[in-house]
Structure 1
């Protein structure tokens, strides 16, 4: 194959994806959710970081190539929070239960996609409910960001002051300043980190998923206590809200609810095979990528490729460095991503009914997106039928 053929093949593969400085900066816009969950899975449940990172890496690269927008891949938050919180209390969740939750989640979403139920549910969801979920998610990200920023407030203020003037800069995107500040702070706050870096000896690391360890108890626990509680959250945020956000920001590269449901199914059916954890898409992740400059699928391809390389050649050491990255700087990233998402919610409607539905949904989404989605639908139906008046 000559040079011209290589170039044509490359163009067919990457399409309009870019890999410039803004795509590189935007690639790291979702670290505020990725790093804490990966660290928790590894340190609290004892899962293999290589498999987790490879799962995310493959999913990110595939989504970037397929969708050509900064379409995010995130940990499933309800599953991750439940599994790691219970593990911290010494209760029943095991890596086998997490793998089982991934398989069950994948099968459920495959069924929802192939039967058309996912698309019908999304089509029937009124605009005020979607706006409320997006606004609630944005405000929730901002609140969580502030919590993390208080961990080391002076560092957060310095990072925020350095990044705000660069948010729209093309020469020096804000994310590069945040990564630099975070890296320097990690070395200063963790005296042994430099020694660990100097002692690194790269080598090939392969995942060890141990699927044979999944028991019937794991399957029951993963399905009932992890996969099913995640379902309404995924439907509201990782199907409806993220599709709405993508199509609002990139109308020239729209996605369909059925396609998003299918990719959610594919990611979760494949992830346990390499030792990965349950994954989804999310409007907050897209807001993070876009806030820091990403506008094509180049950003997820960059992040996914880096995760694959780090997992394969640095192995367990990656999580040690992730854990050392200052929470305060992650908080700044989350806060700015939340601001982007909240502003994207748009107007909540002029009429009292839709505005009331949107505000109630927003308030509930700050607590639980799944509950907000169900309550918003019910409230909208009651108002539309004249059963209640706001």
Structure 2
């Protein structure tokens, strides 16, 4: 089943591949949202509501299975307690303003023209390594459930339905979560203006700068390249920056999280079978439903998600390996793993430029 998106002319499909692929994005979202809801005043239900809204919107406007993920640097700092929920809100709003301005003046397009492909591939590898690390940590939290999920993935592969493995694992996880909470009790998520007061501090400013460096490399430039690699689609990084800015400035004041278009989520959707914006529409509906049963989401076994994160990481790492400067790609990836993706992007950009000069001398 499918239809044609009037904005892009791309056909939107709603088949098993799109459904399975849609959930490839959720494995990078749910662990962070659940952890944030448990450790801060942020509402899981409200956060999922906004993820649902923007999955629907971008699926229709882009016609591609673009990811909608939390800004990992900011959310990770909030989960670790390095910044408060108020500083997270302030940083998200600041990032939104910068991204909208950058899109207006086509700043990231200029960045893309100056940065070599190896640096961008290195950012993709860094994200893959970070996802793999998180996946191992989540799976190690409950080895028994992790083994069960590995078995389900193997079962799907043996049946020749590897792309449906995410549906199988997440379906089993939902059953475990429902059993854990003793049933489903739907309720509307809270939606109030500025539920957490923004706190503008030096820490919030530093977090914003770190996130913007990561966003430029991973969520704009690397995602633009991945759209070309996987879908033969020309999506300029400045267009991505504009939509990310819109998400932050719209959702954050009403209880949502700072959001971006990460290359990891896009790779995850493609890995599990998504090829059109239909995946976003399906996932958007699922998120809106999940927002009304947030108690079940919080109880979801993260060991299951950990195994799927490893699959997503492998798919993204394979995309990163498409480079004739694989040593530089690996070096940038390791820098990103040991420091942060923003630093890796800057190091890779400089190293790639110096290598170009050395080869042309």
TM-score by length of 2: 0.89
- The alignment's C-alpha RMSD in Å is 2.6
Which structure 1 segments of 5+ residues have no match?
Answer: 1-8
* Correspondence for 2:217: 236
- 2:312 aligned to which of 337, 343, 347: 337
- 1:300 aligned to which of 280, 285, 297: 280
**What's the secondary structure of 2:24's corresponding residue?**
coil
Q: How many residues align?
A: 355
Taking structure 1 as reference, are residues 371 and 270 closer, same or farther at Cα in structure 2, changes over 3 Å only?
A: same
Q: Is 1:285 aligned to residue 269 of structure 2?
A: no
Farther off after superposition, 10-19 or 21-30: 10-19
Q: Is 1:260 aligned to residue 240 of structure 2?
A: yes
Residue correspondence of structure 1 range 346-365 to structure 2 within 5 A: 346-349=321-324, 354-365=325-336
Deviation at 1:54, TM superposition (A): 2.1
Q: Is 1:183 aligned to residue 183 of structure 2?
A: no
Taking structure 1 as reference, are residues 386 and 147 closer, same or farther at Cα in structure 2, changes over 3 Å only?
A: same
Output one character per residue of 1:89-148: Cα deviation in whole Å (capped at 9) or x when no partner: xxx613x33222222111101121111211100121101111222223223322321222
Taking structure 1 as reference, are residues 172 and 248 closer, same or farther at Cα in structure 2, changes over 3 Å only?
A: closer
**What's the secondary structure of 1:29's corresponding residue?**
helix
Deviation at 1:10, TM superposition (A): 8.0
| Paired residues of 1:138 and 1:284 also in contact (CA < 8 A) | yes
* Correspondence for 1:19: 14
- 1:57 aligned to which of 52, 59, 64: 52
Taking structure 1 as reference, are residues 373 and 183 closer, same or farther at Cα in structure 2, changes over 3 Å only?
A: same
Taking structure 1 as reference, are residues 247 and 10 closer, same or farther at Cα in structure 2, changes over 3 Å only?
A: closer
- 1:381 aligned to which of 333, 353, 356: 353
Once residues 324 and 138 of structure 1 are traced to their aligned partners in structure 2, the CA distance between those partners, rounded to angstroms, is 26
Residue correspondence of structure 1 range 65-80 to structure 2 within 5 A: 65-80=60-75
- 2:192 aligned to which of 191, 208, 214: 208
Deviation at 1:211, TM superposition (A): 5.9
Once residues 195 and 142 of structure 2 are traced to their aligned partners in structure 1, the CA distance between those partners, rounded to angstroms, is 40
Larger radius of gyration: 1
Farther off after superposition, 42-51 or 338-347: 42-51
Taking structure 1 as reference, are residues 42 and 299 closer, same or farther at Cα in structure 2, changes over 3 Å only?
A: same
Deviation at 1:187, TM superposition (A): 5.3
Deviation at 1:45, TM superposition (A): 1.5
Taking structure 1 as reference, are residues 185 and 295 closer, same or farther at Cα in structure 2, changes over 3 Å only?
A: same
Deviation at 1:321, TM superposition (A): 1.6
Taking structure 1 as reference, are residues 204 and 325 closer, same or farther at Cα in structure 2, changes over 3 Å only?
A: closer
TM-score by length of 1: 0.83
Q: Is 1:101 aligned to residue 88 of structure 2?
A: no
Deviation at 1:151, TM superposition (A): 1.8
| Paired residues of 1:22 and 1:170 also in contact (CA < 8 A) | no
Deviation at 1:304, TM superposition (A): 1.4
**What's the secondary structure of 1:210's corresponding residue?**
coil
* Correspondence for 2:42: 47
| Paired residues of 1:54 and 1:307 also in contact (CA < 8 A) | yes
Q: Is 1:86 aligned to residue 81 of structure 2?
A: yes
Deviation at 1:272, TM superposition (A): 2.0
Deviation at 1:80, TM superposition (A): 0.5
Which structure 2 segments of 5+ residues have no match?
Answer: none
